Homo-oligomer: A and B are copies of this chain.
Amino acid sequence: MAVYTEVGDEELVDFAAEYDIGEVLSCKGIAEGIENSNFALATTDGNFILTLYEKRVNPDDLPFFLGLMDHLAEAGIPCPTPVHGRDGKALRRLCGRPAAIVTFLSGMWPRRITPDHTAELGAALAKLHLAGADFTMSRANSLSLESWRPLLARSEDRADEVMPGLAGELGGELDTLEEGWPHGLPSGVIHADLFPDNVFFRDGKLTGMIDFYFACTDMFAYDLGVCLNAWCFEPDLSFNITKARRMLTAYRKVREFSAAEMEAMPLLAQGSAMRFLLTRLYDWLHTPKDALVTCKDPLEFVAKLRFHLGVKGPGDYGLE
């Protein structure tokens, strides 16, 4: 949970006056998101989310993120829509930080994942991938293959504090990933961080996907790799093949993936496990103990990485 910046009442009223969103009724910091400060903003027109972008977000990326949400919302994807001010701008400053107001999405993220959730997710992810096709901006994935060795180097000397042998295991796995990483697979806009707490449901139906602040231009199948890791393991870290099958089957009904994408999926899923493992490992070793945020355990992704290493073919993900 995190609210890094406290927004004063007077500043907020001035800020909100730049928008056609009615009069501010209240603004409460919400305990979600670890990168930015988020507020539930109630006005006479309804509910909104106010986000102040903190230092972990590169301000140069904000036009991409906000433009993407505009584009996807326009295409009917259930994502937050940036609210544009009277001057047409969606991005302005508040309390010395870049800030934006987006629409409020109903629904809650699911604590207990069922195969029905993963089927809904698969279809929504495919629609997101298709809807991004005519989005003209691009953004490299700054947390893909090239970043992982430098990221490991920053934690390497202390990685064995977390698990004996971890540094060596990850170094070896990076060799494998660097050697086999696919090229030329279908690519476009991906979410890249579509964990359950970024997906809202209501009455079993997917109602929203949020937090596009890792979105980038990369292989669609990599996004599926992220979702395999984020949605298809049980709390005991065993792989639930039913959840994977439902997710991938629902996805391909909307956007069929090629044999080459299917073939690359175990390696892409290993890569995605590596990405979350490395950022969590870094945070685990470098976050002061008195920080506002709680670190997530990196070892969860060691188990996931090892699972994908053992995958022999599509059957292990529940496909024919």
A residues adjacent to B (C-beta < 8 A): 1, 3, 6, 8-10, 12, 24-32, 40, 42, 47, 104-112, 200-202, 289-290, 292
Q: Which residue of B lies closest to A108 (CB)?
A: B9
Q: What residues of chain B lie closer than 8 Å to A24, measured between beta carbons?
A: 108
Q: What residues of chain B lie closer than 8 Å to A40, measured between beta carbons?
A: 28, 30, 40
A31: which of B3, B42, B201 is its contact (CB, 8 Å)? B3
A41 to chain B, nearest CB (A): 10
Q: What residues of chain B lie closer than 8 Å to A9, measured between beta carbons?
A: 108-111, 201
Say how many copies of this protein the assembly contains.
2
**Assuming the A-B contacts A8-B112, A42-B106, A112-B8, are A28 and B26 also in contact, with contact meaning beta carbons closer than 8 angstroms in the complex?**
no
**Assuming the A-B contacts A31-B3, A31-B31, are A200 and B26 also in contact, with contact meaning beta carbons closer than 8 angstroms in the complex?**
yes
A104, B26: Cβ atoms under 8 Å? yes
Q: What residues of chain B lie closer than 8 Å to A111, measured between beta carbons?
A: 6, 8-10
Report the bound CA distance from A139 to B200 in whole Å. 43
Q: What residues of chain B lie closer than 8 Å to A28, measured between beta carbons?
A: 30-32, 40
Q: What residues of chain B lie closer than 8 Å to A47, measured between beta carbons?
A: 42, 47
B30, A106: Cβ atoms under 8 Å? no
A255 to chain B, nearest CB (A): 28
A selection of 24 A-B contacts at a CB cut-off of 8 Å is: A1-B1, A1-B3, A1-B31, A1-B292, A3-B31, A8-B111, A9-B109, A9-B110, A9-B111, A9-B201, A25-B106, A25-B107, A26-B104, A26-B107, A26-B108, A27-B108, A28-B31, A28-B32, A28-B40, A29-B32, A30-B40, A42-B47, A42-B104, A47-B47
B107, A202: Cβ atoms under 8 Å? no
Report the bound CA distance from A104 to B24 in whole Å. 14
A202 to chain B, nearest CB (A): 7
Q: What residues of chain B lie closer than 8 Å to A3, measured between beta carbons?
A: 1, 31
Q: What residues of chain B lie closer than 8 Å to A110, measured between beta carbons?
A: 9
Given contacts A6-B111, A29-B30, A42-B104, 16 further A-B contacts (CB under 8 A): A1-B3, A1-B29, A1-B31, A9-B111, A9-B201, A10-B111, A25-B106, A26-B107, A26-B200, A27-B108, A28-B30, A28-B40, A30-B31, A30-B40, A40-B40, A290-B290
A173 to chain B, nearest CB (A): 31
Report the bound CA distance from A110 to B32 in whole Å. 24
Q: Which residue of B lies closest to A8 (CB)?
A: B111
Most buried by B among A3, A26, A32, A112: A26
Report the bound CA distance from A299 to B1 in whole Å. 28
